[in-house]
């Protein structure tokens, strides 16, 4: 079971998102030089990872599916491949202390 503070921190972080974007929009912003930083973040009690991107304006965005939901990747490797495909040569991985307690499923669990 996750520590009680983790869910609150995650929800607060998610509330800061001003916009969610699809892959094509993020590729266009990258080619325009508008994306500053990328971080791979585990999703508590879920199947994996999201890609959190900070624009040069400071606005935080996440990649969305075609249905308008946050894109959740089944493994860290897959999330890293997508971040690279968007155009990031470097990105960071957020690893909370209680990652094992978050019950993130591995890709072989699907």
Q: What's the domain range around 91?
A: 4-109
pLDDT, tens digit, for every residue of 13-62? 544 444 678 888 899 999 999 999 999 999 877 779 999 999 999 999 99
Kindly report the pTM of this predicted structure.
0.70
User: Taking residues 61-71, what's their average pLDDT?
Assistant: 87
pLDDT, tens digit, for every residue of 99-108? 666 554 444 4
Residue 57 neighbours by CB under 8 Å, 6+ apart: 34
How many structural domains are present in the chain?
Answer: 1
What is the four-CA torsion angle of 41, 1, 104, 44, rounded to 10 degrees?
-30
């Amino acid at each position: 079971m996750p520590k009680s503070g983790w869910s609150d921190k995650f929800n607060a972080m998610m509330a800061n998102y001003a916009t969610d974007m699809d892959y094509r929009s993020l590729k266009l912003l990258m080619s325009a030089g508008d994306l500053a930083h990328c971080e791979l973040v585990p999703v508590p009690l879920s199947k994996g990872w999201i890609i959190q991107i900070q624009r040069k304006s400071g606005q935080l965005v996440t990649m969305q599916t075609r249905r308008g939901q946050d894109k959740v990747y089944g493994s860290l490797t897959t999330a890293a491949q997508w971040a690279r495909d968007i155009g990031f040569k470097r990105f960071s991985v957020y690893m909370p202390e209680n990652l094992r307690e978050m019950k993130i499923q591995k890709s072989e669990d699907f």
